[in-house]
Amino acid sequence: MYDVLIVGGGAAGFYTAIHIAEALPAAKIAILERGKEVLTKVRISGGGRCNVTHAEFNPSELSKNYPRGEKELLGPFHQYASGDTVGFFESRGVALKIEEDGRMFPQSDSSQTIINCFLSEAERLGIEVKTLCSVTGLVQEESDEGAYWKVLVTSGNLKAKQLVLATGSNPKIWKLIKDLGHTIIPPVPSLFTFNIKDERIANIPGVSTYAEVEVLPKRKQGKIVAKDKLNTLLSTDGPLLITHWGMSGPAILKLSAWGARVLEQYGYQFKIQVNWVPEYHQNGLLELFMQVKQVEKKTVVRTKVLEIPKRLWVNLVRAAHIADEITWPEVSKQQLMALAEQLTKGVYQVNGKSTFKEEFVTAGGLDLKEVNFKNFQSKLLPNLFFAGEIINVDAITGGFNFQNAWTGGYLAAKGVVNNMGHKK
């Protein structure tokens, strides 16, 4: 009989275990991991550097980075947020640094530093780590001492007074908790890049610029096919990266996260509208071009009058049917209107998606209505806790998914400790 079993040897699982073991040094705790290795997602995150958290220390601003979970995480972030995460690692000798975009990494620039910290803490605190230990069943049983969990694993059965599930997007575990009466929101991909074949971006991979992007709603017989629950337009702004297969970068990844459900309904076939110069709208840009026309003598293609990458300017000038030899005095108002439209309202057809690096994130999981966010305990089943991506929470890229794991792990640990305290 264990005091606590934690299913899932990832970020959330270790964080939970460490906090429980520190509060209850005598407790018998084990982490069960189905794979050969623990912390595999930590290893590959942030390109092997581990994007630990984000330097957003205001809970209400922090929660705005979660397409699913924004409302629910606000209270938890008031209890435990990015600053607490920094304190946790720094008190264990792992210094973090803030990059220009707010992402935080270990100063070593190596995810191994984070892994070593977790493994040495687990060892110091006497936490058992069982690898190749796949959970096949969860049963609630009663004994003279009260209710406990029977956890069926590949090599037999284990028992625990308290159970924490920190298994991420694991369909087998979702099925087990569904069988126990919980609701699972079907998972769909989030954080993906857009596949776009288009002459305007075909020969310029690697070009990056700040842009506004909007998903154009699909219509059938004049009606919009699918909207998100707020009926809001899906639009965002940020750095946009042109790639060999289409578009990526923070602006696209944000859209893919906020639009995860709608874009899945669209079958990943939809149109986006891009404003490559967000400080302008079409008419304002036309006015600027008419002024340039009065003073500039060179060819339009050679005279980039806006702060956008040169190769993109050339492609958009050509897309507006302005020939390379046409000079500013020769260019017609119609052509300049077409160029202003290409720059501020260019429409691109998206055909499919590509996974963003190895950081695959899903939208979906345990219904948030069935979790008590004061302690991440199940509202339906006693002595059952959740941490990390197993619940229907996901974030945009930038260290926010890890912060959900740390916050959930910390509060679940507190909940477990409270339960154990009441039983003493």
pLDDT digit string (tens) for the chain, length 424 residues = 999 999 999 999 999 999 999 999 999 999 999 999 999 999 999 889 999 999 999 999 999 999 999 999 999 999 999 999 999 999 999 999 999 999 999 999 999 999 999 999 999 999 999 999 999 999 999 988 888 999 999 989 999 999 999 999 999 999 999 999 999 999 999 999 999 999 999 999 999 999 999 999 887 655 665 554 434 579 999 999 999 999 999 999 999 999 999 999 999 999 999 999 999 999 999 999 999 999 999 999 999 999 999 999 999 999 999 999 999 999 999 999 999 999 999 999 999 999 866 556 889 999 999 999 999 999 999 999 999 999 999 999 899 999 999 999 999 999 999 999 854 4
Q: Where are the beta strands (DSSP E) in 109-191?
A: 128-130, 135-143, 146-153, 156-165, 184-190
Contacts of 289 (CB under 8 A, 6+ apart): 305, 336, 339, 340
Contacts of 344 (CB under 8 A, 6+ apart): 275, 276, 277, 280, 281, 282, 285
Crossing angle of the two packed helices 282-295 and 333-345, in degrees rounded to 10? 140
- Helix (H/G/I), strand (E/B), else coil: 401: helix
Up-side HSE of residue 368: CA atoms within 13 Å toward CB?
Answer: 17
Contacts of 26 (CB under 8 A, 6+ apart): none
* Contact (CB, 8 A) for 383 and 419: yes
| DSSP secondary structure code for residue 218 in this structure | P
In this structure, what token pair is assigned to residue 247? 């578009």
Pairing of strands 361-366, 192-195: unpaired
Crossing angle of the two packed helices 111-124 and 40-48, in degrees rounded to 10? 150
Amino acid at 362: T
